[in-house]
Amino acid sequence: MAADWEKLAGEWADDAVGVIAEIDCTTEGKPLCDANEVKGFPTLKYGDPSDLQDYKGGRTYEPLAKFAKDNLVPVCSIKNLALCDDEKKAEIDKFMKMDAAELDGLIAGGEDMIKSAEKTFDDGLAELQATYEKLSADKAAGR
């Protein structure tokens, strides 16, 4: 599948509609993969970056290329405001009016939320692990 994927990605490399990309979910791409519920590899997703959908078609070049041609179409974005509804246009306009410091603050706030959620998860996982180990020890001891 890798060769077919790379061929397709090359064909879409300069396309204004979208991008066909590869993310390594084991390194710096892990938060993105976690946010998009990637559980196995390879997982193929498509669509609006804020609402990615699972691709369930064939994994050779021909079905991938046909799917891309039929489904990867322009969507609402800064470059395609005419495709946006009024609510999305207002949201984009709000962000476009912000200066870099305001945007950096929003990003930092989002990163803090992610760190907090990861800490909550890690703490909960540690509690579960401790419970599991205690129950396993109790079972082994016949309690």
- Taking the model in full, what pTM does it have? 0.50
Residue-wise pLDDT for 72-88, tens only, equals 888 788 888 999 999 99
Domain range 1-75, CATH class:
alpha beta
pLDDT at 132 over 80: yes
Residue-wise pLDDT for 87-112, tens only, equals 999 999 999 999 999 999 999 999 99
DSSP states of the chain: -HHHHHHHHHHTTT-SS-------TTTTTHHHHHHTT--SSS--EES-TTS-EE--S--SHHHHHHHHHHH----SSGGGGGGS-HHHHHHHHHHHTS-HHHHHHHHHHHHHHHHHHHHHHHHHHHHHHHHHHHHHHHHHTT-
Q: Where are the domains of the chain?
A: 1-75
> So what's the pLDDT on residue 86?
96
Residue-wise pLDDT for 6-33, tens only, equals 888 888 887 777 778 888 888 888 898 8
